Every structure is written in structure tokens, then in C-alpha cells.
Amino acid sequence: MTLTLGGCMMGDKLHLDLEAPRGSTVTYRGDTDPMPASLAVPRPGKVGAKAYRKELEFEFILGGEPIEAEGVLETYGYEEHDVDRLSKNFLKIQPSHIRDIERGSAIVLNGTSASGQHIYQLTVGQSR
């Protein structure tokens, strides 16, 4: 299933394959999808420019108990090389990250393209 996280921006989309433990979900604009989920988000053409900032909601399943969390996803412009076009971008939320969230910490995940350029930042913490 593909979620297209809106916004009308110049430039291409950044495609992220979002992964979390089995049974976890991501919610955007009231639509809840199981993970893994593929997100297509806007990115600017200008290298380093911040393109997109959107809130997401999560329900993680770890040890059978649901853990509700919310996050902010930001994407950045980068110069796309051949290796970037041929590669997938993964955003994997590990069980250790979810345990940190459950203990009240926020996690920050930064992603790079296959060519080593900063392409996203996801900050996630407990739902308020």
C-alpha cells in the first residue's frame, strides 16, 4: 500500500519504505495503514532545503502491547545520482527505538540516500 503525503511542491517525490515490528501501523490524515508501508513525500530540488514537515501517528506492537506514538517527518532536497535512483530508501523503526519511546524518550532517525546525502529526519515520541 502506498501513502501519498500531500503537498504541492516542485521537484520529485522521495519514496520511503517505512518498517516497524509486525502489527504496527502508521496513520496520516485519518487513514491507518499496516507497516511496512511505502510513503511518497515531496522533496525540493535545492540541495539541503527543507521540503516537508508533517505529523504522523503510530501504533507500535511490541510484546503484544500497543504503544501509541506521534512523530514529525521532515524531508530535505538532495542531488539525485544514478545510485540514488536505483536504490530504495528505508526508514526502519527498531524494537529498541520503541522501548525508548515507551520509557518516555523521543527518538530521532536521520536517513541518507545511497550516495550519502541527508534526505529525512523522523522524530517520534509518546502520544500526549
Q: What is the pLDDT of residue 24?
A: 96
Q: What is the pLDDT of residue 121?
A: 94
- Name the pTM for this structure: 0.83
Q: What is the mean pLDDT of residues 79-103?
A: 93
Q: What is the mean pLDDT of residues 96-108?
A: 96
pLDDT tens track for 22-80: 999 999 767 899 999 988 888 777 776 676 788 999 999 988 789 999 999 998 888 88
What is the overall mean pLDDT for the chain?
Answer: 86
E runs forming strands in the chain: 2-4, 13-19, 25-28, 31-34, 37-42, 50-62, 65-76, 89-92, 107-112, 118-126
pLDDT band at 9 (very low <50, low <70, confident <90, very high): very low
Q: Does the pLDDT value for residue 84 go beyond 70?
A: yes
Taking CA atoms, 8 is separated from 4, 5, 28, in Å, by: 11, 10, 17
